[in-house]
Structure 1
């Protein structure tokens, strides 16, 4: 049984991915930032279904903490799964900020950059020695990197940057047999950016070919596929999971 790390695994798409990957037989190390109880709830859900998971704290904006986190991952791999190898990494942790460009502060800009681009770069670097041959990296990006949406310029720019970084990961890690892909959700029912009210959900549904917004579980199944042998020949791709958002 392989073991994966999912950042931001206490809620939303990350939690759904943790449950789906565990359902498919993967061991899961999920991270949380501010809500340890939510993370433990996900671990309990996985355990109740016969899976195996552990939760570790991580601030993906704090690169200085990644060494200690890597050591904590090694300990969990040894104690819980009796292995020293990861089979996958899902860079999912993040948050939304909806402000017009003229109101974005330098602090807000830097915060989004640290979480959505700088953090995934250096966390992947930190965990790379633990990733075994045939491992898979999945970076969560966003359909906003393709569709210009007023109010999310920094967020979308860094998600676009992460898509470029994904291709470079695939190129540079290919000799190790490690694949890297991006999953770009369209409108999804999560708490990101404060969630969706009825009016905004109706607007997003009208802009989507299938006429509705998506659920976290629908994105989770794509992530799990990319982490499995079913995705073994998918590499350096961005897969949009958005039901035909602005096609």
Structure 2
């Protein structure tokens, strides 16, 4: 009789070439899961994430994915299925972390339909339909995590972010409904809303304009901006069995920003 191999827990983290996605991927791997790291324009960053995980004894693979192009999702699912089998001997994903996105504001007076549509494609339509596409691979009892933003909550209303925040707010609403619709498979769906976090978003705004950090830290109850690891640890918890009794929630992960 051949020896039966235990299935490895594998988590997909989109947009994990840097920032919050990398922080989440590293923390998830540290808990023992394999990680599929997706990237769009930064393959070197994704390979750096993979190398960091492997150096710590974990397992990870990088795959390309443009979340703004939903027509490519079936092709991504096929590539993911192949990697799951070849790397981990499984056809199941334990969790999907919809993190990929972009930042930067556009004043309402200057908003164009093209700019608004890009927010929609990447920040809302992308994670919504990627979840649908990967649903056949998602294990019963698994988890989906959406990365929203504190800008979608009352109190964090900065000029120029109406389009961005509208999509992030819609993602929170979709999260609650998906938690209900997928509950028959015991799949948990939650979102998090990070505050200002040191990432590459906004064309490396924190690197180019370090003076803005002091003002943001002053608006944060805990007196500093977030680091990717701060958010990554919460994501790793929410997609783990430790959070098995949490679904349909949006968790503010911001150190008390704009309280």
Pick the TM interval, shorter chain.
over 0.9
Distance (Å, rounded) in 1 between the aligned partners of 2:182 and 2:45: 33
Question: Could you say which residue in structure 2 is the equivalent of 1:240?
Answer: 252
Q: How much is the aligned-residue C-alpha RMSD, in angstroms?
A: 0.8
Question: Gapped runs of 5+ residues in structure 1?
Answer: none
How much has 1:5 moved relative to structure 2? 0.6
Q: Secondary structure at the match of 1:133?
A: strand
How much has 1:126 moved relative to structure 2? 0.2
> Number of aligned pairs?
247
Q: Secondary structure at the match of 1:42?
A: helix
Question: Could you say which residue in structure 2 is the equivalent of 1:118?
Answer: 125
How much has 1:199 moved relative to structure 2? 2.2
Question: Could you say which residue in structure 2 is the equivalent of 1:56?
Answer: 63
CA deviations 1:161-188 (Å, max 9, x no partner) are: 0000000110000000100000110111
Q: Secondary structure at the match of 1:37?
A: helix
How much has 1:193 moved relative to structure 2? 1.1
Distance (Å, rounded) in 2 between the aligned partners of 1:214 and 1:65: 33
Question: Could you say which residue in structure 2 is the equivalent of 1:165?
Answer: 174
TM-score by length of 1: 0.98
Q: Secondary structure at the match of 2:95?
A: strand
CA deviations 1:126-147 (Å, max 9, x no partner) are: 0001111110100000000012
Distance (Å, rounded) in 1 between the aligned partners of 2:109 and 2:33: 45
Distance (Å, rounded) in 1 between the aligned partners of 2:168 and 2:244: 24
* Match 1:220 to one of 229, 232, 238: 232
Contact 2:179 / 2:190 at 8 angstroms: preserved in 1?
yes
How much has 1:72 moved relative to structure 2? 0.6
